[in-house]
Copies of this chain bind each other. A is one copy, B any other.
Amino acid sequence: MPRPLSIDSLRLQEQIDALAAISEAPPPVVTRVLFSEADLRGRAFVKELCQQAGLKLHEDAIGNLFARWPGKDGQLAPIATGSHIDAIPNAGPYDGVVGVLGALEAIRALKRNGFELRRTIELIIFTAEEPTRFGIGCLGSRLLSGSLSPERAAALSDTEKQTLEQWRHKAGYAGRPLNSVLLPKGVYAGFVELHIEQGPLLEQENLAIGIVEKIAGPSTLRVQLTGVGGHAGAVLMPERHDALLAGAEIALAVEQAALNSGSRDTVATTGVFRIEPGAVNSVPCRACLEIDLRDTQSSTRDAALLRIEKAVPEICRRRGIDFDVERLNMDAPALCDPALVSTILEVCRELKLPAKTMISRAYHDSLFMAQICPTTMIFIPCRGGVSHRPDEYSSPEQIANGVLVLAHTLAKLTS
């Protein structure tokens, strides 16, 4: 490296703030649901910044954005980095964004430094890491890695029965078919994702950096319940088939399945719970639940999943409710690449930044990138471990540490 790398923390923070202001809801709330007007404006903002940094852009048929800094040796597989900018309703400014705008700052820092690449660097902004619109997360990286078939993806539909294919048309990505998104294994020599921890451990242990060895595998269930509606005054209690009450029992069974899995790492959440008609004087006739279940081990997670899938018919039969249970996804945990992990640990030692290896309980596009290339993640602390909330926060210094580690890692991997 010609001279020490310096991170422009101020500019990076301004860009993070500017992107946070591009939201479907007023500040401090960040909401950028896939292909919403805010999501599209956010994409345009990032593209503009990538162009200003001199990167070459292309987008694929699901809207994954690739921003390339070509290396001298075109024969070598590139090193990739990146994350996502979509945000669930009522989210904060840092989840995903730090791995996009931070990686861009890492690239700018290397360029300012006069660093010469042998191997190409590719910054990837993945489409829809969050599962908000279709109940399934990591749409972009799933399709890119072959973990989701183009046929299944095209048929995904949102609560308004609009399909992914219709949304893709609306957003202007339908020029090519979805099957063109798939990338061959080995297309990248490695993938490193910078991300906030979304958990409290780094902050509690006063560490600057976490390097991810393992990513918990998520599975998602959608449970649809159909009972019998009616007037809340006129239908006597013994005659009821109330879809909400079946849903309430199921949500509590989901909690019990995680608490009794035998592993403290099993977590289960009913995050979506919608009822119809949703009027105070009407017996709920329908309920739709979406359930997220994760663990660092497939065995305990899958046992909890089976327990939930067994509880649903028991509850519904007793209450006279029709039900439909769909496994939206069921992904295996991922092991990260030990060589990449060692490289980053070494970078941290050189930079004198306190670091440790850790497990990611949240899942990420890295879970799917791990299927096509050596992968790991760089975590930075976030206040109180809080994420997916407007008060999500990492300090400019904490972010700068992560960006510096990423920049040095990219330099090592591409020189």
Interface residues of A (CB under 8 A from B): 88-91, 130-132, 135, 137, 197-199, 216, 218, 220, 229-238, 242, 244-245, 247-249, 251-252, 255, 258-259, 264-285, 290-292, 294, 360-363, 385-389
Contact = CB atoms under 8 A, between A and B. Distances in A.
B270 A244 contact: yes
Contacts of A280: 131-132, 135, 137, 220, 269, 271-272, 290-292
A237 B258 contact: yes
A266 B237 CA distance: 8
Nearest to A233: B362
Given A216-B233, A245-B252, 8 more contacts: A90-B229, A218-B281, A229-B389, A231-B362, A231-B388, A236-B361, A271-B279, A280-B292
Contact of A88 (B220, B277, B389): B277
Contact of A281 (B233, B265, B279, B388): B388
A281 B292 contact: yes
A30 to B, nearest CB: 11
A397 to B, nearest CB: 22
Contacts of A135: 280
Contacts of A197: 234
Given A245-B252, A284-B271, A277 B388 contact: yes
Contacts of A91: 277
Nearest to A276: B90
A281 B137 contact: yes
A283 B271 contact: yes
A130 to B, nearest CB: 7
A244 B251 contact: yes
A255 to B, nearest CB: 6
A281 B271 contact: yes
Contacts of A285: 389
A147 to B, nearest CB: 17
Nearest to A284: B271
Nearest to A132: B279
Contacts of A389: 229-230, 285
Contacts of A235: 199, 267, 385
B272 A88 contact: no
B233 A363 contact: yes
B273 A229 contact: no
A26 B216 CA distance: 44
Contacts of A274: 278
A88 B216 contact: no
A260 to B, nearest CB: 10
A290 B281 CA distance: 9
A319 B392 CA distance: 23
B267 A272 contact: no
A232 B293 CA distance: 8
B278 A89 contact: yes
A149 B8 CA distance: 60
Given A272-B279, A279-B272, A388-B231, A237 B259 contact: yes
Contacts of A248: 247-249, 251-252
A269 B280 CA distance: 7
A362 B231 CA distance: 7
A234 B385 contact: yes
A386 B282 CA distance: 11
Contact of A255 (B88, B237, B278, B281): B237
A87 to B, nearest CB: 10
**A-B pairs with the 7 shortest C-beta distances?**
A248-B248, A232-B269, A233-B362, A90-B277, A88-B279, A199-B234, A280-B290
